[in-house]
Amino acid sequence: MLMALTACQKDNITVEEQNGAYPEVLALKKHPVPFHAEFISTVLSANPNPAVCNGMGAPTFNLLQSLEGNATHMGNITGSISSCITPPTTIFNGEVTFEAANGDLLYFEQTGPLTFDINGGTGRFEDASGSITGGFVLIGTNPIMFSNEFNGEIQY
């Protein structure tokens, strides 16, 4: 018995070709799923910064924070928060970045009081989108620390 095996090889398969071959996988990838994060943030600085915090009355401060916690789809996270605050409670221009243990980033932008849109990221979160509601509680004053929670949906 004689058996012959032949094979084809195509180099440089594009992402579009891969996605076209498996449209059901691509569809699943873009399905909204629940998102939950719990993290502690620590205030690093609170300084006037008109270039970042403009037009919301005086005095207005740029509040910079570091964060550490856990998020669904990411595991352990670290990251940063930059927001503007007009004391005692008006918070605006908030931007949050989560970094997963593998280095993937996820970006949030404040759209209203305690509401955020997910605006992409890096790695598996490159085209991420979604909306999140947040909340926080003061848990320390020296240094100033907050317990934070995000809940919503993410699509990536």
Q: What is the Cα–Cα distance from 51 to 82, expressed in whole angstroms?
A: 13
Mean pLDDT of the chain: 85
Each domain of the chain, given as residue ranges in start order, spans: 43-155
Q: Which pLDDT does position 53 carry in this prediction?
A: 82
Residue 121 has pLDDT above 60, yes or no: yes
The alpha carbon of residue 56 and the mean position of all alpha carbons in its chain are separated, in whole angstroms, by 25
Residue 5 has pLDDT above 70, yes or no: no
> Model confidence over 18-75: pLDDT tens digits?
545 566 655 555 789 999 999 999 999 999 888 888 766 667 889 999 999 999 999 9
Determine if residue 126 is left, alpha or beta; phi over 0 gives left, psi from -120 to 50 gives alpha, anything else beta.
alpha
| Percent above pLDDT 70 for the chain | 78
Rounded to whole angstroms, what are the CA distances from 134 to 40, 41, 51, 94? Answer: 13, 13, 25, 11
For residue 14, what pLDDT band results from cuts at 50, 70 and 90?
low
Residue 113 has pLDDT above 70, yes or no: yes
Q: Which pLDDT does position 75 carry in this prediction?
A: 97
**Measured distance between the N- and C-terminal CA atoms of the chain, rounded to whole angstroms:** 52
Model pTM? 0.79
